[in-house]
Structure 1
Amino acid sequence: MSSKHSSLVHNHFSKAPFNRRIYAFLLDFITIWFLSSFFKGILQNTIFIFIWLILKVVVVFKNKGQSLGNWAFDLKITSVRCGRIPRLDEILKREITLGLLALLAILGFSINLNNGLSMLLLITPLIVDFSAALGSQKRYSQTLHDMISNTILIQAQRGFSLDLRIKKIFKIIHKKYLKSLR
């Protein structure tokens, strides 16, 4: 597909805000990390990858391009190739790459501050991956794992709008707090 045709296919999509991308990733990451934390050692890492593949590949493929985090923040994965939900092999490439980076970050966090340099080295690939989206000049800023799989993350009509709901709750709490001070 030519780049001219590719850009025409994707002009009607809304770019995913970077903060929502991070929130969605963190929700998925923490959920999967929590579920795998009931195990120890190499079994924990194996369970992490297994759950990652189930929730980030199978669920995304069956759920119109949305994982739990993407659904919670109104995002979905789309193929650059066709402008629709990516094929299973594209999702698999994307999530294996991201899952391995997330696993490295978990290993870094497990080292904790006992060896700060090793922790930093293990977390850095994930930071670099997401930083690529900040430096991207393309209309749909892609992370490295998106570039590898030829996908983009876009805003979706379908979702829970968790960040907007939390902002609304904080606004209500703030107003009630200000009233109580008067």
Structure 2
Amino acid sequence: MLTQIVSERFPRVKLWRRTLAFLIDFLVIWMIGGLFAAILPILPFFILFLAFWLAYRVVLVSRNHGQSLGRYALDVTLVDSRFNSVPQLLILSKREGILGLAAALAAIGLNAISLNPAGILLVIPLVVDCGFAWTEDSRRAFHDRVAKTLVVGSRRGYSLDLKVKRLVAELTRNMK
């Protein structure tokens, strides 16, 4: 009931924008984690990825109005559905801990795919977690349901998707 009230109050975000924002964040953390794993071979990639994930997606988001770099680029923010505000650190930690474990396994699988094609199976937990968003109208992934958070539209951001659409339209118009 409360989730319906909050979702009516905030504009819901299309799944492709959520996915793109996640991919931006994932790629940034994957590259930083890979760089540090090459510099510090003593620490496993899994530990580095999770540490950077939590720092980036918990600490940064709590200080940046519920937005990470990917969410800022696409005008998306994270809201606690119970209090209509940026989630607290504990809630963010719970949400990003679940998502971070799945993302870390996916990153390990993608890193190992050239050596062992079965590494692609490590992407399955991420697909299952995010697949919940496709199952019902509320568009809430498993980690959102556990933490009781919503991903909603924001007026604060870079509007990357709109700028790319404008650029493609202009290029198409100039080619004719």
TM-score (norm. length: structure 1): 0.88
Question: Any idea what SS the aligned residue of 1:11 has?
Answer: helix
Which residue in the other structure is 1:136 paired with? 136
Work out the CA distance in 1 between the residues paired with 2:52 and 2:115: 28
Match of 2:22 among 8, 22, 25: 25
Work out the CA distance in 2 between the residues paired with 1:162 and 1:80: 26
Question: Any idea what SS the aligned residue of 1:136 has?
Answer: coil
Matched, 1:174 2:172: yes
Query: Deviations for 1:143-179, whole angstroms, at most 9, x for unmatched residues?
Result: 011111111100111111111111111111121122x
Unmatched 5+ stretches in structure 1: none
Which runs of at least 4 in structure 1 moved beyond 3 Å after TM superposition?
40-43
TM-score (norm. length: structure 2): 0.91
Query: Deviations for 1:86-132, whole angstroms, at most 9, x for unmatched residues?
Result: 11111111111111101000111122154333x23200111111111
The verdict on how the C-alpha distance between 1:152 and 1:158 changes in structure 2, with shifts beyond 3 A counting, is same
The letter for the 2-side match of 1:157 is R
Which residue in the other structure is 2:143 paired with? 145
Matches within 5 A, 1:2-151: 3=1, 5-38=2-35, 39-40=37-38, 42-117=43-118, 119-138=119-138, 141-151=139-149
The letter for the 2-side match of 1:50 is A
Query: Deviations for 1:53-85, whole angstroms, at most 9, x for unmatched residues?
Result: 111000100011111111111111111111211
Q: Percent identity over the alignment?
A: 33
Q: Is the 8 A contact 2:13 2:153 kept in 1?
A: yes
